[in-house]
Structure 1
Amino acid sequence: MELKHINLTVDNIGETREFLQTYFDFTLKTEAGKNPEVLLGKDGFILTLMQGKDVSYPKTFHIGFPQKSKEDVDNIHTSLKVAGYKVPEPKVTPHGYTFYIKAPGNFMIEVLAFR
């Protein structure tokens, strides 16, 4: 069984959508500006964004975008940094080469390449 759908409540649907489209190749499947908005990943993953107020996820909550290689992680990291996002340098952890970023919408994203 595969997990192929998640719903996130976010502070700003538009900013979150644009971030996910720009850096993680999601496509909008519903009309922009509606609540909710449905995004589709290249692998068929369905990500629904719902508008909320004062959104707060647990400290360790995050979603992950595994990459095929360390170079792919570095490319995303560089794109985010060039765009002005404050992102820590990727590092090697027990489960891979990774970095985290707080996305518009107030949730954490992990970008990683497994070792």
Structure 2
Amino acid sequence: MRLNHLDLHVADVAATRDFLVHHFDFRHIETRGRDGLAILHDSAGLELVISHPSSKFGGADAGSVGANTYHIGFILPDKADVDRLYERLRAAEAELWEAPQAIRGGWMFYCMAPGRILIEVGWRPGH
């Protein structure tokens, strides 16, 4: 069995979609409705769906709840790639925590994407 897709609920589908395409190299496959649901793919074959909160699943997203109950993580092939992405996000005035640093045997940082999606970006030796 393999993971088929992830669906993240956000208030602003277009802003979250554009952030992930621009900064995290996702490809925009399609958007259904008026920014109602966006389908993105990465180079490894992951399908990431960005959609509005659905009432049948409780109707909540991290912004409306006021808390993050999950995060998504990206691993980069080189430590310098982490630093470059951090600088690109900083220049774009993304919401960032501390600069990249040694954490749990790797080199990483955290940022917040539109829709209050917490993102971990890192490098680990041997990955």
RMSD: 2.0
**Quick check: 1:22 aligned with 2:22?**
yes
| Paired position in structure 1 for 2:113 | 103
> Larger radius of gyration, structure 1 or 2?
2
SS at match of 2:119: strand
- Superposition map of 1:3-82 within 5 A: 3-31=3-31, 33-52=34-53, 55-56=61-62, 59=68, 61-82=70-91
SS at match of 2:30: coil
CA contact (8 A) 2:100 2:108 kept: yes
Runs of 4+ in 1 over 4 A off after TM superposition: none
Query: How does the TM-score come out when normalised to structure 1?
Result: 0.88
Query: How does the TM-score come out when normalised to structure 2?
Result: 0.80
Measure, in 2, the Cα distance between the counterparts of 1:4 and 1:68.
Answer: 23
| Paired position in structure 1 for 2:56 | none
CA contact (8 A) 2:95 2:113 kept: no
SS at match of 2:89: helix
Q: Which moved more, 1:54-63 or 1:64-73?
A: 54-63
CA contact (8 A) 1:4 1:45 kept: yes
Measure, in 1, the Cα distance between the counterparts of 2:95 and 2:38.
Answer: 26
**Gapped runs of 5+ residues in structure 2?**
54-58
- Identical pairs, percent: 31
**Quick check: 1:84 aligned with 2:93?**
yes
Measure, in 2, the Cα distance between the counterparts of 1:36 and 1:109.
Answer: 20
Cα shift at 1:60: 5.2
